[in-house]
Amino acid sequence: MALTILKAENHRRMPWKNGGGVTVEIAIHPQGASVDDFDWRVSMATVASDGPFSVFPGIDRTLSVLEGDGILLDVEGEETKLTRESAPLAFAADAHSSARLIGSAITDLNVMTRRGRLAHNVRRLPVDGTTLSVADGNPALLLCSEGPLDLNSGSGAVRLEKLDCAVFAGGNAEPLTIKGKGTAFLISIVAI
């Protein structure tokens, strides 16, 4: 299993598709793809005011709150409260959606896959000596949202600082031990 570490200081910054803010792109596939032709994308954004979300036709999205008080997310008229403690929320990125801040600005984690080609799953993991199995021939990413966290696998040992991301690609499943006290998000990408 190949392991790549994406350091927070190297994440790419770009304007939102709707021009209302800035996105921090953590990873995109294929590499070099744009917001219009990616297969999958993992990014973060700071939401500092109420407003609509960008529309991505044919894309499924999962949103999680990394920092801040939270948001009230309205997707096609159905409102859901998202906070740092909430489970990640999956919804269609081409559905009309908007957010209202509960208090201060938030930073969110946004995972998107091209519908009909790929699917994804996002899990929030409280970490305190956690062991889990990653990769099964499909890509998996582990984002450190609170840390630092030390990863140990058959691929070696590495440290993830806050907002660093480990990308696991290909190969057989192998156990991964995560040491440290913090929170991570495990993102699995699956071909349909």
pLDDT value of position 120 = 98
Q: How far is CA 96 from CA 78, 101, 112, 173, 186, in A?
A: 10, 17, 16, 38, 27
Tell me, yes or no, whether 100 and 34 share the same domain. Answer: yes
In the chain, pLDDT over 70 holds for what percent of residues?
93
pLDDT value of position 159 = 95
Q: Could you tell me the two tokens for 123?
A: 């899990």
Tell me, yes or no, whether 76 and 15 share the same domain. Answer: yes
Give this prediction's pTM. Answer: 0.92
Residues in the chain with pLDDT < 50? none
Split into its structural domains, the chain has a count of 2
- 3-state class of 10 per DSSP? helix
Please compute, for residue 76, the number of CA atoms within 13 A of its CA located in the half-sphere on the CB side: 5
pLDDT value of position 126 = 92
Instruction: Examine residue 170 and state whether it is found in any structural domain, yes or no.
Output: yes
pLDDT value of position 17 = 72
Enclosing domain of residue 25: 10-116
Tell me, yes or no, whether 20 and 84 share the same domain. Answer: yes
Tell me, yes or no, whether 16 and 91 share the same domain. Answer: yes
